[in-house]
Amino acid sequence: MFDREVASPPLGMTDDGPSNLRRRMVLKAGLGAAAVTAFGALRPAFGSTLAQALPSGVREYQVVWSDQRLDALRGKIKEFQFPRAIPGSGWKYGMDPDYLRALIEHWVNGFDMEGAARNLNRYPQFITRVEDLDIQFIRVIGEGGPNKARLPLLSTHGWPGSTFEFWNVIEPLAFPSRFGAGSEVAFDLIIPSLPGHGASGKPQRPIGARTTARLWDKLMRENLGYETYYAQGGDWGAGVTGWLAIDFPEAVKAIHLNLMIVAPQIPPATEAEKKFYAEADEDERLWGAYYQLEATEPQSLAFAMANNPVAQAEWLVQRFYQWCDKRTRSFDQVFSMDQLLTNVMIYVMNDAFQTSTWFYTGSEEEHVKQMPKGTRVSAPTGFASYSGDSRSPTPPRSIVEKGYNIQYWADVPHGGHFAAMEAPELYVQDMRNWAAALKL
**What pairs with residue 232 in β-bridges?**
155, 256
Tell me what pLDDT residue 33 has: 33
Strands (E), 8-131: 36-37, 58-61, 125-130
- What amino acid occupies position 279? E
Tell me what pLDDT residue 433 has: 96
Those residues with Cβ within 8 angstroms of residue 356's Cβ, 6 or more apart along the chain or in another chain: 159, 160, 194, 196, 197, 347
Percent of the chain that is helix, strand, coil (3-state, to 5): 45, 15, 40
Tell me what pLDDT residue 392 has: 87
> Which of 262, 416, 229 is closest to 335 using CA atoms?
416
Tell me what pLDDT residue 34 has: 34
Per-residue pLDDT of the chain (440 residues; tens, 9 = 90+): 223 333 344 444 333 444 444 434 433 333 333 333 333 333 434 333 344 457 889 999 999 999 999 999 999 999 999 999 999 999 999 999 999 999 999 999 999 999 999 999 999 999 999 999 999 999 999 987 554 557 999 999 999 999 999 999 999 999 999 998 877 789 999 999 999 999 999 999 999 999 999 999 999 999 999 999 999 999 999 999 999 999 999 999 999 999 999 999 999 999 999 999 999 998 888 889 999 999 999 999 999 999 999 999 999 999 999 999 999 999 999 999 999 999 999 999 999 999 999 999 999 999 999 999 999 999 999 999 999 998 888 999 999 999 999 999 999 999 999 999 999 999 999 999 999 999 98
Report, in angstroms and rounded to the nearest whole number, the Rg of the chain calculated over CA atoms: 21
Tell me what pLDDT residue 393 has: 85
State the DSSP H helix or E strand holding residue 411, giving kind and residue range, or none if neither. strand 404-412
User: Rounded to whole angstroms, how far apart are CA atoms 428 and 420?
Assistant: 8
**What pairs with residue 252 in β-bridges?**
229
Whether the pTM exceeds 0.85: the reply is yes
**What pairs with residue 37 in β-bridges?**
140
Tell me what pLDDT residue 54 has: 73
User: Rounded to whole angstroms, how far apart are CA atoms 235 and 127?
Assistant: 23
Q: How far is CA 356 from CA 183, 198, 204, 326, in A?
A: 36, 9, 12, 26
User: Rounded to whole angstroms, how far apart are CA atoms 396 and 140?
Assistant: 35
**What pairs with residue 133 in β-bridges?**
130
User: Rounded to whole angstroms, how far apart are CA atoms 383 and 263?
Assistant: 14
Q: Which structural domains are found in the chain, ordered by start?
A: 18-437 (3.40.50.1820)
Tell me what pLDDT residue 426 has: 97
Query: How, if at all, do strands 125-130 and 252-257 pair?
Result: unpaired
User: Rounded to whole angstroms, how far apart are CA atoms 242 and 369?
Assistant: 10
User: Rounded to whole angstroms, how far apart are CA atoms 256 and 349?
Assistant: 31
State the DSSP H helix or E strand holding residue 382, giving kind and residue range, or none if neither. strand 377-386
Query: How, if at all, do strands 187-192 and 252-257 pair?
Result: unpaired
